[in-house]
Amino acid sequence: MLADQENRYRAAALRPPGAAPAPAFAELCTGCGDCTEICPSGLLYLGPDMLARLRTAKGCGECGLCADVCSHGAIELTPGMRVGLRKILADERRSATSF
């Protein structure tokens, strides 16, 4: 991607919820794709610059799975995502003990 195009793209592209500020995010995100695979709403994708991007904030249930799976510190849990993740873990524990 040409530098100009890349700068324009980066300025317009949405970062995942809880993502580190723009310059740090570009350093931290390795483009591993773990968050894009786990997002239950299919909201995350790897951009042409191989950084995780958010298609739209609409539909994000703040489940926190993207932050939970990011082992590079590029996405941190927001307070809302912390609540969402706690609920998922509680649901998992409940279904594991209901057998």
Would you state the structure tokens that stand for residue 33, as one six-digit string? 């794709």
- Per rule CB under 6 A, count of chain residues that contact ligand SF4: 28
Q: Kindly indicate which of the ranges 6-14, 68-76, 86-94 contains the residues binding ligand SF4, using the contact rule CB under 6 A.
A: 68-76
Q: How many CB atoms lie within 10 A of CB 32?
A: 16
Distance CA 68, CA 82 (A): 9
Task: Note whether 34 binds ligand SF4 by CB under 6 A.
Answer: yes
Locus of tokens 């610059």 = 49
Among 8, 41, 83, 91, binds ligand SF4 (CB under 6 A): 41
Among 10, 29, 53, 77, binds ligand SF4 (CB under 6 A): 29
Which residues here bind ligand SF4, judged by CB under 6 A? 16-17, 29-35, 39-41, 43-44, 52, 60-66, 69-70, 72, 74-75, 81
